[in-house]
Amino acid sequence: MVKYLLGIFTGAVLVFLLFGMLILVAVTAGTTPPFIENDSVLVVNLHGSIPERTDVAFNFGGWNAATMPTLLEIHQAFQKAAKDDRIVAVALYCGGIRIGWGKAQELRWVIQNFKKSGKPIRAFLEGASVLDYYIAVAADEIATSPESLLDVKGLHAEISFYKGTFDKIGVKAELERIGKYKSFAEPWSRSSMSKPFRKVVNSVLDETYGQFLTAVASARNMKINELRNVIDAGPFVQKQAFDAGLVDTLQYEDEFRDSFEHNLGLDKLNEVNLSQYKTVSLDSMHREEKPLIAVIYAVGSIMSGDTEIDSVFGSDILGANGFIRVLRKVATDENIKAVIVRIDSPGGDAFASDRIWRAMHKLREKKPIIFSLSDTAASGGYYIAMANSPVLAYPGTITGSIGVVYGKFNLRGLYDKLGINKEIITRGRHAASLSDYRGFSPQERKKARDDMDAFYSTFVRKVAESRGRTWKEVDKLAQGRTWVGSQAHTNGLIDELGGFDRAIEMAKKTAGLDSKQDVTLIPYPAPKDFFSLLLEGDWQTLKSAIVKHVNSSFNSFHGSLPWPVLFRGGLMQIAPYSIEVR
């Protein structure tokens, strides 16, 4: 028995020591940049989701376990590769990407800027969709397998309606709105689109498809009408894509890789993966000290509390409390010369949005701010950018949606079906107004409408003040209507169309820096190292990161709908629906 217990104890000690040694090796090795050989080809795999920021960096001995680098890391890697004499070309692999049109346009601009270096960039498509092709067509040359599928056949938008399901299970959406285009309630309270809803979706689809056709026609030397006819024949299998002029060559992946050696005159193909190359610092190539520009990420559904990952749906929550602490920290850092705020948010809680709006104004008193809108910056996500500072967006960014929603789900019918009974005892006329066991009374509904009118008026006024417009001018563009970035630019809701490069240029200008001056971008909130969190016992952050990874497949089902905000109810500045154009 003693030997048995001694064996268990010895085994436990050995496991503990081994685990500690692994942590030490990983932390030490993770800080060492990889060795880059001469005549190397940078391999960039674009698939799945591309996040704006990383919560936890899973670095194991120089190997990064994250499924995809952030958008800024990809941007910086291409910049480094353009200047790095050791990198002679880029191999781009596209297939199965799940991002919005804003990020896709950033990637296209990154590729186009890299091409100015004179180094070749070739793309390989495998099971590519419209977005994959839209990105790849910016490369010098496109290859695909002789037996692959190019799933390019146009665009479509799908909006699900749940009223029929709710009727069957006894759930009623008690949702009020301000703005005739604020169609947030429709998927829950109707079985089909209203005319205003359909008008906006068609407008978004037309504008996005036009951007796609223009980009592809220019890259493939086609006329727009010619390209329309080609796409109407899609999708494309075997050599159909080649015959249609959509790709340049048919090659298997091994032939694609071998062609780099032949075309570049290399004896051996040295490949460096993007996940490794992103750890190569620009500072290692240029040692001089550079001014600091903060990149603050406002990502997720806006709610009160701290920034985290929703434990049920795995979606990002932009917590007002935690985010405001970040803004205050940046405001007091004398080393930071300017701030770029990256917004990827459909909005959320109206009061939390207003608190962030106020904190943005306080930050602007200390630092110049440039707002850079990503895939989505709508309703509350647009509201927080109204700080009398320049606002940039991509042509395909979903933005606007200046309106207000108030409501809840009435689950009384469902409770009855399940045999659940509730008794409500109140003190105060409106104390149970948000109870899920009954609908709104006429007095509660009137009170909600009055509050919504006041908040909508304030929303429009703050946009008008920030954009230098009158209340009536903004009201005509508001009414809850969603715009894409190109339309928002035409309407004056944003200042310019642009991505990271233009935001950095404007940040340098507003900070009084030379336009050719190199700068260092500091992300906020900064990603935390996995092993550091483990040693610190920060289980909440670790849990959030794991939940987000595990729920990635569920996210592909429910899209970008802000479920945590929706189920909380109350007064919301939130995009009226989740538009996924594919």
Active site residues: 379
**Structure-block tokens of residue 480:** 């809850």
**Partner residues linked to 372 by β-bridges:** 342, 392
For the beta carbon of residue 330, count every other beta carbon within 10 angstroms. 19
How far is 175 from 197, CA to CA, in rounded Å? 16
Best CA proximity match to 364, nearest among 338, 393, 325: 338
Q: Is the peptide bond before 395 cis (omega within 30 degrees of 0)?
A: no
**Are the CB atoms for 562 and 346 separated by under 8 Å?**
yes
- Which residues are CB-neighbours of 179 under 8 A, at least 6 positions away? 402, 403, 404, 456, 478, 479, 480, 481
In DSSP notation, 90-142 reads EEEEEEEE---HHHHHHHHHHHHHHHTTT--EEEEESSB-HHHHHHHTTSSEE
How far is 423 from 420, CA to CA, in rounded Å? 10
**Are the CB atoms for 320 and 356 separated by under 8 Å?**
yes
Best CA proximity match to 328, nearest among 371, 364, 373, 290: 364
**Are the CB atoms for 342 and 393 separated by under 8 Å?**
no
How far is 537 from 64, CA to CA, in rounded Å? 21
How far is 44 from 46, CA to CA, in rounded Å? 6
Best CA proximity match to 382, nearest among 573, 115, 545: 573
Query: What's at 34, amino acid-wise?
Result: P
Q: Is the dihedral of CA 302, 305, 309, 310 positive or negative?
A: negative
**Are the CB atoms for 462 and 386 separated by under 8 Å?**
yes
In DSSP notation, 135-202 reads HHTTSSEEEE-TT-EE--S---B-----HHHHHHHT-EEEEEEESTT-GGGHHHH-SS--HHHHHHHH
- Which residues are CB-neighbours of 539 under 8 A, at least 6 positions away? none
Q: SS3 breakdown of the chain: % helix, strand, coil, rounded to 5?
A: 45, 20, 35
Best CA proximity match to 341, nearest among 319, 316, 315, 323: 323
Kind plus residue range of the DSSP H or E element containing 355 = helix 350-364
**Partner residues linked to 56 by β-bridges:** 528
For the beta carbon of residue 221, count every other beta carbon within 10 angstroms. 8
**Are the CB atoms for 484 and 396 separated by under 8 Å?**
yes
